[in-house]
A and B are shown apart, each in its own frame.
Chain A
Amino acid sequence: MSNESKCPQCGALLKEDAPAGLCPHCLMALNLKTETVFTDDPPAAQPPLPPEQIAPHFPQLEILEFLGRGGMGVVYKAQQKALNRLVALKLLAPERVNDAKFAERFTREAQALAALSHPNIVTIYDFGQAGGFYYLLMEFVDGLNLRQLLRTRKFTPEEALSIVPPLCDALQFAHDRGIVHRDIKPENLLLDKAGRVKVADFGIAKMLGTMNGHTDSEPASPENTTQSTVGTPGYSAPEQKTDPSRVDSRADIYSLGVVFYEMLTGELPGKPLEPPSRKVHIDVRLDEVVLRALERKPELRYQQASEVKTCVETIVGSSGRESAQIEMGKSESRLTSSATHQSPRFSRTAIMGVCWAALSALSAIVMFVAALWRHGKHSEPATIVLLLTPFLLLGLPGILGTPVLGWIAVSQIRRSAGKLYGMGLAVFDSLLFPLLVLNFLIWYLCIVFMLVFRNGSDASGRIQFATGALIVSVIVSALIDWFIIRAVWCAVNKTVAIPAPPVQKPDHFWRWFAVVVLAMISIPILISIFGLLAAIAIPNFVKARQQAQENARHAAAILVGQNISFGSTTNFYVGQTNFPNGDVIEITSVVRNETQMVVKGRYNLVSHENAQLALYISSTNNSSSPDDPEQSMQISKGSGDFELIHSHVFPGLPHVNMYPMGGGGPFAELYFGTKAEALEENKLNLNPKWTDEDAAQLAKEGWQL
C-alpha cells in the first residue's frame, strides 16, 4: 500500500503522512536546537581579534592579552600607561557603531554604572567608541569567576555562605541607585586572590537587551522574543521571559537564589524544586532563604537584597549547634512558652483516654448485639462483619490503650505544676480497665468456686448459693476497687504544689465520673438501636434491588432469544424510514440471538449509480463495533435482495442504510427493532419524531421496561 522508506538521517520508518516526504522526528529535532541568546549570528562566527589589531585604537592602553569571551563581547587585559594600573577592556556591539539612539542609551547606562562605586562591584573607569566597537574600561580583577571555581571544586556551605552577604551588599547598593543587573550568574561573579567577591557587568544586560532598536515599552511579540531574549536561561527570573517590562530588582534576587542553590548543591534548581537540605547536609533554615528567593512570583520573594543578607547572617551567627538540636529546641521552647503563657487547661490526654474507653465499651456492646443477632437470624454475615470491624480494630486495643493514656495524663498533670488539671479523669482512665479485669476475675473465681464446692447439691440450693456467692463477690470486688482508687488518688495527689481545698477536689472527680459513665451507657445503646434498624432495613433493600435487576435481565433475555420475523411494520416494529431521494429498503426477516443478527430484505436504489448497503447498530452508550465484511455490501442501481449479518450484537437501535461509494453520510435509512428498544431510545430522547401519543400507545400495549 505505501512505499516504505526510511529517513536518511535517523533511520526511522517514513509514513505516508510525512510532511513533504521528510522525517517528522528530524524536523522536530531541528526545532529544539537552542537559539542563541543575543545576536542572530552565533558567536562562533567571529574569531577574536588579536591584541595587535586592537592596540592602535587605544593609544592610552597597552593591550596585554586576550582574557576571554562572554555572551556580550570580548575582554582583554590591558595596562593604563599613564596610571600604570591594570584594567580590563571589554569590546562589544560592533554592528551598532552607527546607531545614534544606541549611542545615547549606551552613554546614559555607562554613566549610571560609573556612579556605582562599591568594593563588591567592578568599577567602570571609562567608556566610549573606538575602532568600530563600543568599549568599557573596567577594574581588573586578578582571580577567577565563580563558574571556574565551581568547575574545579564544590563549595562547602560555609564558603557559599561567606560569598552571599557581600553579593547582597553589592546588589542592594545598585538597587538603591535604580540599577538592576538582570544577568546574575556565576560567570559574572568574580573572586579575587584576596577572596573578595566582585559583581561584573552590571546593567550591561539592560544596555544591550534593547539592541534591536525597540524600547522596553513595546509589547513582546512572538517574532521579537526569539531574537532578543535577555538573560541567561536557568538563571533568569520567570518574569524576564514572560513579561520583560515588569522586570525589576527582584529578578536579581531570583538569580541570586539560583547561584546560591548552585553553590550549595552543585546543580541548578530543577522542576520539581528540591530544597537544598535534601541534597546536602546543611542547616534547614537555609532552605527557607533559598526557596523564598526562588519564588516564581516576584511579590513572594525577598523584596530587598539586604533582607537576604540579614537572614543568612542570622543563620550563620547562630549556627554551631546541630540543626536537629535547633529544631528540637524550637519545639520545646514552643511547648514551655505556651505552658507559661496559657491559662490552666484540661489534660487532653485524659480526655483521649476516656474517649478510647468509651469506644471500647461501645465495641463490646456492638459485638454483643451482633452475636445475639447472628444467633437469632441467619442473615448475611458479611454486613455484620463489616459493621463490626472498625469497632473491633479501634475498641479492643483500648483495653490496653486507655490505662496507658491515663497514666501518661497523670504524670503530665503532676509535672505541669498546676497548668494542667483533670487528675480525676486521668486516674479514672488509668484504673478503669484494670479494675474491670480484676472484678471479672474475682467474679469468675467465685463462680468457679461455687461450681466446685457445690457440685452435688440440689438445684434450688445451688441457685441460692450462687446468688449469695455472686452478691458476696460483687461486694468484695467493690471494696477492693474502692481501696485501690483511694490509694492511687492519694498517691498522685501527694506532691501537688498548689494546695487546693480538699473539699472541692473529690466533688469534681465524682461529677466527671458520673457524667462519663452515663455517656458510656447511653451512647452505645442509641447506636446499637440504630444499628439494629439498619441491619434490618439494608438486607431488604439490597434484596429488592437484586430482584429488580433479575427481572430486567430476564425480560431482556426473553427479547433476545426470540425469533423475530417481520410482519406488518405498524404492529410489531418501529420502522422509522428516511428515503428522501426515492430509494427503498424493505426488511423481510430478522433472526437474532445473543451473538448474531441476520437481516434479509429487498432494496431499490434509484438515486445513485452505486452505493454501499450496511447494517449497523448504534447504541446509546457508544460501545464500539468493528466492521465485518458481511455487515455491508455494494449495490448498484436497480433492485435486488440483501442478506446482512452483524456479529457483535448488543443493545441498541439497529438500522440498514445506504451510503454513497467513497464515503459520506447515508442517503437512505431504515430503522428497525423491537418496541422495547424503541421505547428505550425514546426515553433517552433520541427520536424527535415520536409524539406523545405514540409513546402512550406503546405503553398501553403493555410494553414496560
Chain B
Amino acid sequence: MPISMSGQSSSSAAPGIFPNTRWSVVLAARQRSSPESAAALEAICRAYWYPLYAYVRRCGQSPHDAQDLTQGFCCRLLEKNWLDSVDREKGKLRTFLIVALKNFMGKEWRRASAQRRGGGQAHVQFDTAFAESRYASDSHALAPDEIFDQQWALTLLDLTVNRLRAEFADAAKPGDFEALKGSLLAGRGTIDYAAMAKQLEVNEGAARAAVHRLRKRFREIYRQEISQTLAEGADLEAELRHLAAALARD
C-alpha cells in the first residue's frame, strides 16, 4: 500500500486536513479491522513518521536503510494485526509504536528487505532531502529512545500549532494567527496588548480576550492531541510531563 510521506509535518508546508488519530478507535477495532481503524492507522503513520525515522537513523542505519525501514514498518503496521498484543490497560500510542518498531527492526525487516531485493515491488516516494536535513540539524547526543520521545513531543506541538492555524484559516482570519502567535510564548505580564490591538485593528480589550482565547485553545488542542494517543482513562498529565521532560533534554 503506497503511502505518500512528503514532509507535510513541517511548518513550511500548507496544513492539510488533520486526521482523526484516535488511538482509542484503533484499539477498539482490534479484533476485526474496520475501515475506520485502517484509516486511523494510516493517519498515524503519516503524522508520526519523522520520530520513527529519527529513531532508526540514530540506531545507526544509513539514510537509505532508514527510509526503507520506516516505510516497511508502516506497511507492516497496516497489513499485520500487531495490535492484539497491546496492553488494553495502558495502551499508549507512543510506546506501542516504538516497541513495534524495535521488534520490526529486529525480525521482520530482514525478511521484508529480502523480498524487496527479490524485486518487483513498487517503490514509494520519499522526501529524503527533508528528512535528512532535519535529522542533521538535530542534537546528536541523545540515545535513540530519547530522540524518539523528543521528536514525538515536537510532532505533537507541530500538529497543535497547525490545527490552530487551520482554525483561524477556516474562520477566514489567517492574518490574525500570525499576529497572535507570538503570545503563545510570552508570560502573562510581558505581552504588548496595545501593539497587538493595533495590528489586529481592534480595541485593546478585544485583543486581550483574543490572546486569552488563543492560549486556552492551544492548551486544549494540545491536550486533545495527547489524549488521542492514549487509551480511555489514561493519565494525561503524566504523559504531558514526560513529553515536557523529553523536549527539555536537548
Contact = CB atoms under 8 A, between A and B. Distances in A.
B153 A16 contact: no
Nearest to A32: B244
Given A19-B11, A222-B236, A24 B154 contact: yes
A624 B223 contact: no
A659 interface: yes
Given A222-B224, A663-B127, A688-B118, A616 B64 contact: yes
A402 B59 CA distance: 57
Contacts of A30: 184-185, 215, 218-219
B35 interface: no
Contact of B185 (A8, A17, A242, A663): A8
Interface string A1-42: 110000111100001111111111111111111010000000
A667 B123 CA distance: 8
* Interface-central residue, B63, B160, B185, by most chain A CB under 10 Å: B185
A223 B153 CA distance: 20
Contacts of B186: 9, 26
Contacts of A17: 10-11, 134, 137, 154, 158
A18 B12 CA distance: 10
Nearest to B165: A20
A623 B186 CA distance: 46
Interface string A603-625: 00000000000101010101111
Contacts of B32: none
Contacts of B68: 665
B119 A665 contact: no
Contacts of A20: 11, 161-162, 165, 181
Contact of B137 (A16, A22, A26): A16
Contacts of B10: 16-17
A31 B185 contact: no
Contacts of B59: 624
A21 B243 contact: no
A17 B130 CA distance: 10
B25 interface: no
Nearest to B135: A17
A46 to B, nearest CB: 16
Interface residues of B, number: 65
Nearest to A667: B123
A688 B220 contact: no
Interface in B35-63: 59-63
B116 interface: yes
A664 interface: yes
Contacts of A29: 244
Contact of A625 (B62, B160, B227): B62
A27 B185 contact: yes
A655 B113 CA distance: 13
A552 B65 CA distance: 29
A412 to B, nearest CB: 52
Contacts of B120: 580
A211 B149 CA distance: 37
A664 B123 CA distance: 7
Nearest to A21: B11
B114 A687 contact: yes
Given A28-B247, A663-B126, A19 B137 contact: no
B179 to A, nearest CB: 12
Interface string A532-550: 0000000000000000000
Contact of B161 (A22, A226, A243, A689): A22
A624 B61 contact: yes
A9 B185 contact: yes
Contacts of A220: 233
A343 interface: no
A69 B111 CA distance: 67
B162 A28 contact: no
A603 B190 CA distance: 64
Given A8-B185, A19-B161, A664-B123, A31 B240 contact: yes
A662 interface: yes
A489 to B, nearest CB: 67
Contacts of A626: 62
A685 interface: yes
Given A16-B133, A24-B153, A664-B123, A7 B185 contact: yes
B76 to A, nearest CB: 16
B240 A688 contact: no
Nearest to B224: A222
Contacts of A689: 118
B105 interface: yes
B117 interface: yes
B204 to A, nearest CB: 17
A665 B71 CA distance: 10
Given A19-B157, A31-B240, A688-B115, A665 B124 contact: yes
B161 A620 contact: no
Interface in B167-215: 181-182, 184-187, 215
Nearest to B7: A17
Contact of A15 (B137, B223, B233): B137
Residue in A16, A25, A225, A684 with the greatest tally of chain B CB atoms within 10 Å: A16
Contact of B244 (A8, A23, A31, A665): A31
B161 A223 contact: no
Contacts of B148: none
A29 B188 CA distance: 12
Which of A19, A622, A685 has its CB near the most chain B CB atoms (within 10 A)?
A19
B11 A18 contact: yes
Interface in B206-250: 215, 218-220, 222-224, 227, 233, 235-236, 240-241, 243-244, 247-248
A578 B227 contact: no
Nearest to B126: A663
Interface pairs A-B: 6 shortest CB-CB: A663-B128, A624-B60, A665-B123, A26-B185, A578-B119, A19-B161
Interface of B: 10-11, 59-65, 67-68, 71, 105, 110-111, 113-120, 123-129, 133-134, 137-138, 153-154, 157-158, 160-162, 165, 181-182, 184-187, 215, 218-220, 222-224, 227, 233, 235-236, 240-241, 243-244, 247-248
Given A19-B158, A665-B116, 18 more contacts: A16-B10, A16-B137, A17-B11, A22-B184, A26-B185, A26-B186, A32-B240, A32-B244, A222-B227, A618-B65, A662-B128, A663-B127, A665-B124, A667-B123, A669-B119, A685-B111, A686-B113, A689-B118
11 contacts: A9-B185, A16-B133, A16-B137, A19-B157, A27-B184, A32-B240, A32-B244, A223-B224, A243-B233, A614-B64, A685-B114
